[in-house]
Amino acid sequence: MIRPLIDSDLKMAVKIHLSSFPGFFLSFLGPHFLELFYRSFLEDPTGIGFVATDENGCILGSVVGPLVPGGYFKRLIKRRWWKFCLASASPLLRRPWIALRLLRALWYCGAAPTGDSVPRALLSSISVAPEAQGQGVGQALIKAWLFEVRRRRGQGAFLTTDAEGNEGVNCFYQRLEWKLESSYTTAQRRRMNRYIYDFREHT
Protein backbone atom coordinates (compact mmCIF):
# COMPACT_ATOMS: atom_id res chain seq x y z
CA MET A 1 0.00 0.00 0.00
CA ILE A 2 1.26 3.47 -0.90
CA ARG A 3 0.00 6.46 1.07
CA PRO A 4 1.12 10.03 1.85
CA LEU A 5 3.83 10.55 4.44
CA ILE A 6 2.48 11.68 7.84
CA ASP A 7 4.11 12.89 11.04
CA SER A 8 3.98 9.53 12.81
CA ASP A 9 5.95 7.94 9.93
CA LEU A 10 9.05 10.12 10.39
CA LYS A 11 11.03 8.07 12.89
CA MET A 12 10.61 4.86 10.89
CA ALA A 13 11.40 6.67 7.63
CA VAL A 14 14.62 7.91 9.22
CA LYS A 15 15.46 4.43 10.53
CA ILE A 16 15.03 2.94 7.05
CA HIS A 17 17.11 5.75 5.53
CA LEU A 18 19.95 5.02 7.95
CA SER A 19 19.85 1.29 7.20
CA SER A 20 19.70 1.94 3.43
CA PHE A 21 22.54 4.48 3.26
CA PRO A 22 25.20 3.57 5.83
CA GLY A 23 28.30 5.70 5.45
CA PHE A 24 26.57 8.46 3.49
CA PHE A 25 26.92 12.07 4.62
CA LEU A 26 23.28 12.61 5.61
CA SER A 27 23.37 9.39 7.59
CA PHE A 28 26.52 10.58 9.37
CA LEU A 29 24.67 13.75 10.42
CA GLY A 30 22.38 11.50 12.43
CA PRO A 31 18.70 10.76 13.05
CA HIS A 32 17.79 14.18 14.49
CA PHE A 33 19.10 15.95 11.39
CA LEU A 34 17.37 13.46 9.10
CA GLU A 35 14.06 13.80 10.93
CA LEU A 36 14.15 17.57 10.34
CA PHE A 37 14.88 16.89 6.68
CA TYR A 38 11.94 14.49 6.28
CA ARG A 39 9.62 16.71 8.32
CA SER A 40 10.18 19.55 5.86
CA PHE A 41 8.22 17.65 3.20
CA LEU A 42 5.19 17.76 5.50
CA GLU A 43 5.53 21.45 6.35
CA ASP A 44 6.43 23.04 3.02
CA PRO A 45 3.58 23.44 0.50
CA THR A 46 5.80 22.17 -2.32
CA GLY A 47 6.89 19.05 -0.40
CA ILE A 48 5.80 15.64 -1.66
CA GLY A 49 6.27 12.48 0.37
CA PHE A 50 4.92 8.93 0.35
CA VAL A 51 5.48 5.73 2.29
CA ALA A 52 4.93 2.09 1.37
CA THR A 53 3.46 -0.21 4.00
CA ASP A 54 2.76 -3.92 4.29
CA GLU A 55 -0.63 -5.45 5.13
CA ASN A 56 0.01 -4.79 8.83
CA GLY A 57 0.78 -1.12 8.31
CA CYS A 58 4.53 -1.49 8.85
CA ILE A 59 6.54 0.97 6.79
CA LEU A 60 8.69 -0.61 4.10
CA GLY A 61 10.09 2.51 2.46
CA SER A 62 9.62 6.18 1.67
CA VAL A 63 10.16 8.73 -1.06
CA VAL A 64 10.38 12.53 -0.71
CA GLY A 65 11.11 15.52 -2.90
CA PRO A 66 9.97 19.10 -3.56
CA LEU A 67 7.79 20.06 -6.49
CA VAL A 68 9.79 23.29 -6.85
CA PRO A 69 13.42 22.80 -5.74
CA GLY A 70 14.41 26.45 -6.19
CA GLY A 71 14.29 28.14 -2.79
CA TYR A 72 13.04 25.00 -1.05
CA PHE A 73 16.08 24.33 1.12
CA LYS A 74 16.58 28.05 1.79
CA ARG A 75 13.07 28.20 3.23
CA LEU A 76 13.76 25.06 5.23
CA ILE A 77 16.84 26.58 6.88
CA LYS A 78 15.08 29.90 7.46
CA ARG A 79 12.27 28.16 9.35
CA ARG A 80 14.35 25.69 11.32
CA TRP A 81 17.89 27.12 11.41
CA TRP A 82 18.30 26.75 15.17
CA LYS A 83 17.09 23.15 15.14
CA PHE A 84 19.51 22.29 12.34
CA CYS A 85 22.31 23.94 14.32
CA LEU A 86 21.49 21.79 17.35
CA ALA A 87 21.20 18.63 15.23
CA SER A 88 24.55 19.38 13.56
CA ALA A 89 26.45 20.10 16.79
CA SER A 90 27.43 16.51 17.62
CA PRO A 91 28.65 15.58 14.10
CA LEU A 92 30.65 18.82 13.93
CA LEU A 93 32.29 18.14 17.29
CA ARG A 94 33.32 14.70 16.05
CA ARG A 95 34.55 15.94 12.66
CA PRO A 96 35.03 19.74 12.58
CA TRP A 97 36.42 19.57 9.03
CA ILE A 98 32.99 18.73 7.64
CA ALA A 99 31.73 22.27 8.32
CA LEU A 100 32.08 23.43 4.70
CA ARG A 101 30.41 20.31 3.37
CA LEU A 102 27.58 20.77 5.86
CA LEU A 103 27.02 24.32 4.64
CA ARG A 104 26.87 23.05 1.06
CA ALA A 105 24.32 20.42 2.11
CA LEU A 106 22.18 23.01 3.90
CA TRP A 107 22.12 25.29 0.86
CA TYR A 108 21.78 22.48 -1.66
CA CYS A 109 19.33 23.44 -4.42
CA GLY A 110 19.16 20.13 -6.25
CA ALA A 111 21.83 20.40 -8.98
CA ALA A 112 19.19 20.86 -11.67
CA PRO A 113 20.17 20.49 -15.34
CA THR A 114 21.77 23.74 -16.52
CA GLY A 115 19.92 25.66 -19.19
CA ASP A 116 16.87 23.46 -18.81
CA SER A 117 13.62 25.37 -19.40
CA VAL A 118 11.41 22.54 -18.11
CA PRO A 119 10.34 23.12 -14.46
CA ARG A 120 11.25 19.84 -12.79
CA ALA A 121 10.54 18.45 -9.35
CA LEU A 122 13.49 16.98 -7.44
CA LEU A 123 13.36 13.41 -6.23
CA SER A 124 15.44 14.05 -3.12
CA SER A 125 15.48 10.66 -1.44
CA ILE A 126 14.04 7.19 -1.77
CA SER A 127 14.82 4.40 0.66
CA VAL A 128 13.51 0.86 1.04
CA ALA A 129 14.07 -1.40 4.04
CA PRO A 130 16.71 -4.04 3.20
CA GLU A 131 14.27 -6.91 3.82
CA ALA A 132 11.76 -5.40 1.35
CA GLN A 133 14.14 -4.68 -1.50
CA GLY A 134 13.59 -6.46 -4.80
CA GLN A 135 9.82 -6.68 -4.27
CA GLY A 136 8.70 -3.67 -6.31
CA VAL A 137 8.43 -1.29 -3.35
CA GLY A 138 10.80 1.31 -4.80
CA GLN A 139 9.08 1.24 -8.16
CA ALA A 140 5.67 1.75 -6.55
CA LEU A 141 6.95 4.66 -4.46
CA ILE A 142 8.45 6.44 -7.47
CA LYS A 143 5.29 5.87 -9.49
CA ALA A 144 3.17 7.46 -6.73
CA TRP A 145 5.57 10.38 -6.33
CA LEU A 146 5.64 11.08 -10.09
CA PHE A 147 1.84 10.85 -10.26
CA GLU A 148 1.56 13.52 -7.57
CA VAL A 149 4.12 15.75 -9.31
CA ARG A 150 2.08 15.51 -12.48
CA ARG A 151 -1.19 16.09 -10.61
CA ARG A 152 0.29 19.33 -9.28
CA ARG A 153 1.09 20.35 -12.87
CA GLY A 154 4.80 19.61 -12.75
CA GLN A 155 6.27 18.94 -16.19
CA GLY A 156 9.01 16.54 -15.18
CA ALA A 157 11.49 15.50 -12.52
CA PHE A 158 15.18 14.97 -11.96
CA LEU A 159 17.46 13.19 -9.52
CA THR A 160 21.13 12.58 -8.90
CA THR A 161 22.86 9.38 -7.81
CA ASP A 162 26.38 8.02 -7.63
CA ALA A 163 27.85 7.08 -10.99
CA GLU A 164 30.48 4.68 -9.65
CA GLY A 165 29.97 1.56 -7.56
CA ASN A 166 26.22 2.01 -7.91
CA GLU A 167 25.29 -0.10 -10.91
CA GLY A 168 22.13 -1.57 -9.40
CA VAL A 169 20.62 1.82 -8.62
CA ASN A 170 21.52 3.25 -12.03
CA CYS A 171 19.96 0.24 -13.75
CA PHE A 172 16.87 0.64 -11.56
CA TYR A 173 16.23 4.19 -12.77
CA GLN A 174 16.96 3.27 -16.36
CA ARG A 175 14.42 0.44 -16.18
CA LEU A 176 11.87 2.98 -14.98
CA GLU A 177 12.65 5.06 -18.10
CA TRP A 178 14.54 7.87 -16.43
CA LYS A 179 16.98 9.29 -18.98
CA LEU A 180 20.65 9.89 -18.13
CA GLU A 181 21.01 13.62 -18.79
CA SER A 182 24.64 14.17 -17.73
CA SER A 183 27.43 13.21 -15.34
CA TYR A 184 29.47 15.56 -13.19
CA THR A 185 31.98 15.58 -10.33
CA THR A 186 31.24 17.23 -6.98
CA ALA A 187 33.64 19.32 -4.91
CA GLN A 188 34.36 16.11 -2.95
CA ARG A 189 35.39 14.41 -6.23
CA ARG A 190 32.31 12.25 -6.17
CA ARG A 191 31.15 11.24 -9.64
CA MET A 192 27.40 11.70 -10.05
CA ASN A 193 24.80 10.84 -12.68
CA ARG A 194 21.84 13.13 -13.24
CA TYR A 195 18.62 11.58 -14.57
CA ILE A 196 15.54 13.36 -15.90
CA TYR A 197 11.97 12.26 -16.45
CA ASP A 198 9.71 14.18 -18.86
CA PHE A 199 5.96 13.68 -18.71
CA ARG A 200 5.59 14.74 -22.33
CA GLU A 201 7.56 11.62 -23.27
CA HIS A 202 5.31 9.40 -21.11
CA THR A 203 1.81 10.35 -22.13
Q: Are 89 and 82 in contact (CB under 8 A)?
A: no
What single letter denotes the amino acid at residue 143? Answer: K
**Number of structural domains the chain divides into:** 1
- Each residue of 150-166: pLDDT tens digit? 999 999 999 999 999 99
**Domain housing 54:** 2-201
| CATH label of the domain that carries residue 179 | 3.40.630.30
Whole-angstrom distance, CA of residue 187 vs CA of residue 155: 30
- Each residue of 133-146: pLDDT tens digit? 999 999 999 999 99
pLDDT computed for residue 54 by the predictor: 95
Per-residue pLDDT at 28 exceeds 70: no
Whole-angstrom distance, CA of residue 33 vs CA of residue 62: 17
Backbone angles phi, psi at 181, to 5 degrees: -90, -40
Whole-angstrom distance, CA of residue 46 vs CA of residue 120: 12
Per-residue pLDDT at 23 exceeds 90: no
Packed helices 10-20 and 31-43: angle between N→C axes, nearest 10 degrees: 130
